Structure 1
Amino acid sequence: MSKQSLHYASDKQLSEFLEVSRQTIWRWVREGKFPAPLKLGPNCTRWKLSDVKAWEAGREAET
């Protein structure tokens, strides 16, 4: 496993972890309800896991 994969996640990985579709992840981003992804290369878009964890903690605090 590369070091990069320890700090970033793809939409597929996030959808599996959050148990939602990839389309839902992208819709949340468009609606401003989910952290924006980073463009790491021409065909490489990823989310920083620290951003996703902070988002998740904020959601848990709301409930």
Structure 2
Amino acid sequence: MIKKPELQKLLNISRSTLGRWVKAGHFPPPAHVINGRSMWHFQDYKSWLANKNPKSR
């Protein structure tokens, strides 16, 4: 699992940008929200990255 702050660092984006991407469907929604903390499966991030950047495979 990867938390929102770690994901923001990996993507080099702000919290609000991540929220806009999720809301617009440009990034997968969090897999879990526990006590208000959003978390994603690392595999979801890797899959999104691979599909966004097919040359990086």
TM-score, normalized by length of structure 2?
0.82
Once the two structures are TM-superposed, the CA of residue 44 in structure 1 deviates from its matched residue by: 2.9
Task: Provide the C-alpha distance between the structure 1 equivalents of 2:53 and 2:31, rounded to a whole number of angstroms.
Answer: 24
Task: Provide the C-alpha distance between the structure 1 equivalents of 2:8 and 2:37, rounded to a whole number of angstroms.
Answer: 16
Which structure has the greater CA radius of gyration? 1
Once the two structures are TM-superposed, the CA of residue 28 in structure 1 deviates from its matched residue by: 0.4
Once the two structures are TM-superposed, the CA of residue 40 in structure 1 deviates from its matched residue by: 4.5
Map of 1:17 onto structure 2:
10
Runs of at least 5 residues in structure 1 that lack an aligned partner in the other structure? 1-7
Once the two structures are TM-superposed, the CA of residue 39 in structure 1 deviates from its matched residue by: 2.3
Structure 1 residue 31 and structure 2 residue 24: aligned?
yes
TM-score, normalized by length of structure 1?
0.75
Q: Please, what is the CA RMSD of the aligned residues?
A: 1.5
1:45 partner amino acid: S
